[in-house]
Amino acid sequence: MKYRLAIFDLDGTVLNTLEDLAAATNAALEKNGMPARTIDEVRQMVGNGIHKLCERAVPEGTDGGASEQVYRDFIEWYGAHMYDSTKPYDGIIPMLTRLSACGVRTAVVSNKRDEAVRELCKRYFPAMFDITVGERDGVARKPAPDSVLEVLRSLGYRREEAVYIGDSDVDILTAQAADMDCISVDWGFRDRDFLESSGAQVIVSSATELLSHVLGELPDHAQIAASLFLEGYNCAQSTFLAFSDLTGMDRQTALRLSSSFGGGMGRLREVCGAVSGIFMAAGLLWGYDKPGDLDGKTAHYARIQSLAEAFRARYGSIVCRDLMRGVSAAPGPEPAKRDAEFYAKRPCLRCISDAASILDDMIRETGAYKKPGKAGKEEC
β partners of residue 15: 11, 88
User: 278 in the Ramachandran plot: left (φ > 0), alpha (ψ -120 to 50) or beta?
Assistant: alpha
Q: In the CATH scheme, what is the code of domain 5-14+87-215? A: 3.40.50.1000
* Residue 297 buriedness (CB in 10 A; 0-12 / 13-18 / 19+): middle
Question: 105 in helix, strand or coil?
Answer: strand
Distance CA 38, CA 218 (A): 40
pLDDT of residue 63: 81
* Residue 342 buriedness (CB in 10 A; 0-12 / 13-18 / 19+): middle
Model pLDDT for residues 221-274, shown as the tens digit of each residue:
998 999 899 989 999 999 999 999 889 898 899 999 999 999 999 999 999 999
C-beta neighbour count of 326 within 10 angstroms: 7
Model pLDDT for residues 4-17, shown as the tens digit of each residue:
999 999 999 999 99
> Residue by residue, what is the 3-state secondary structure of 278-294?
HHHHHHHHHCCCCCCCH
Distance CA 59, CA 299 (A): 57
β partners of residue 164: 7, 182
pLDDT of residue 70: 94
Distance CA 7, CA 163 (A): 6
**Domain formed by 18-81, architecture:** Orthogonal Bundle (1.10)
pLDDT of residue 368: 62
The reported pTM is 0.66
Any alpha helices (H) in 267-346, and if so which ranges?
A: 273-286, 294-315, 320-323, 340-345
Instruction: List the chain residues with pLDDT less than 70.
Output: 1, 367-380
Q: Roughly how many angstroms between the first and final C-alpha of the chain, as a whole number? A: 8
Which residue spans of the chain are classified as CATH 3.40.50.1000?
5-14+87-215
pLDDT of residue 344: 86
The side-by-side arrangement of strands in the sheet containing 131-135 is 131-135, 105-113, 5-8, 162-166, 181-185, 203-204
Distance CA 37, CA 34 (A): 9
Residue 159 DSSP code: G
Give helix 18-31 / helix 64-81 axis angle, nearest 10°: 130
